Structure 1
Amino acid sequence: MEKRTLGTAGPRVAPIGLGCMGMSWGYAESRRDDDTSIQVIRRALDAGVDLLDTAAVYGDGHNEHLVGRAIAGRRDEAVIATKGGLVVDDLATKQMHRDGRPETLRRQVEDSLTRLGIDRIDLYYLHRVDPAVPVEERLGRPRRPRY
């Protein structure tokens, strides 16, 4: 499958990615089937789809666990995109609030790494901008990417 570079110096990915949210959150959670979802993710990797998109709030972390299980032993085939900056207040009603404070984002990154079972996140971004936190505080000091 052809590859495209994300941004000017980002990782190279297939032109089609897999959004994993619906496997854990947003659509009929009562019919969630983790084994089938893991098979779907693995078949996507087999087909050359390498960009997997998830987020900390999807199922209050469940989706990241699911993606982590699916990529176990295949980390080098996947480009992992996940998001932070939202906090789940009530899982049943999907009530959440924005929190773009650096300490929240740091904690969410560490929690995401643990749930995903990986040592780096390839693409991390804010799920929603928190207008109460200036962008320079949210992002902190830039780091050089490890591609």
Structure 2
Amino acid sequence: MKLRNIATGTLILSLFFLTGCGGEGGVAKGDPITVAEQFMDLYYHKANIKEAAALATPETAQKIDPAPGSPAVDASKEKDAGQEISYFLKEKSMEGKHSYALYLITITRKDAEPIYKTTALFIDLVGEAWKITLFDEKIHNGPHQEVKKG
């Protein structure tokens, strides 16, 4: 009878310990691509530069700025000007403490030609949190095209 109580108690304590630790063994919580998605939504759809910058390291946050013609300025005009900003994750890489996400962005405007951009994000484990460590945006002359190797 006592052995059964000890075994049950040990099992309960083990489950409690694993639940409390999250079963992650000291690894940072969250997913770097989820952080990238949050950044893209805040920056491009909600035009919330302050919240988007909070997902970045201080050095990178200083470079996230709503300059004239930036997507954040475009996003703030999105509903008023009859334009729509859409993006999708084209490529991703996750290796240990370093991750990469490449997004293709299209800004369609009611009375003008669409704008095509790419945004590259590096997401690194800083302390115990995933942070944007690089934000690089490029404007393209035409629609996104698939490049085939071969």
Using the size of structure 1 for normalisation, the TM-score is 0.28
Which protein has the larger Cα radius of gyration, Structure 1 or Structure 2? 2
Q: Which has the higher strand share?
A: 2
Using the size of structure 2 for normalisation, the TM-score is 0.28
